[in-house]
Amino acid sequence: MEDVVISLGGSLVNPGGIDENFLQGFSEMINSLIDKYRFVIVVGGGKLARDYIEIARKRGESEYNLDLIGIMATRINALLVKSYIKNARYAQDLKEITNGNVVMGGTVPGHTTDAVSLLAAELLGVKRVINATTVDGVYDKDPKVNKDARLIKDIRYADLLGMFYLNSSGAGPNQVLDFLSIKIAERSGIEIMVINGRDIDNFKKAIEGDDFRGTRVCGP
Ligand X SMILES: Nc1ncnc2c1ncn2[C@@H]1O[C@H](COP(=O)(O)OP(=O)(O)OP(=O)(O)O)[C@@H](O)[C@H]1O
Q: What's the CA gap between 109 and 66, in Å, rounded? A: 8
Binding of residue 105 to ligand X (CB under 6 A): no
Q: How far is the CB of 2 from ligand X (least distance, A)?
A: 24
C-alpha 40: how far from chain center: 11
Burial class (CB in 10 A: 0-12, 13-18, 19+), 61: middle
**How many chain residues touch ligand X (CB under 6 A)?**
19
H helices present in the chain, as ranges: 10-13, 20-32, 46-58, 63-82, 113-124, 157-164, 179-188, 200-208
Choose between 27 and 214: whose C-beta lies nearer to ligand X.
214
For the CB of residue 63, give the shortest distance to ligand X in the complex, in Å: 16
Q: Could you say which of 31, 65, 168, 175 contacts ligand X (CB under 6 A)?
A: 175
Select the residue interacting with ligand X from 4, 10, 76, 214 (CB under 6 A): 10
The Cα–Cα gap between 1 and 36 comes to 6
| Minimum separation from the CB atom of position 96 to ligand X (A) | 20
Binding site for ligand X (CB under 6 A): 9-11, 44-46, 113, 133-135, 138-139, 141-144, 174-176
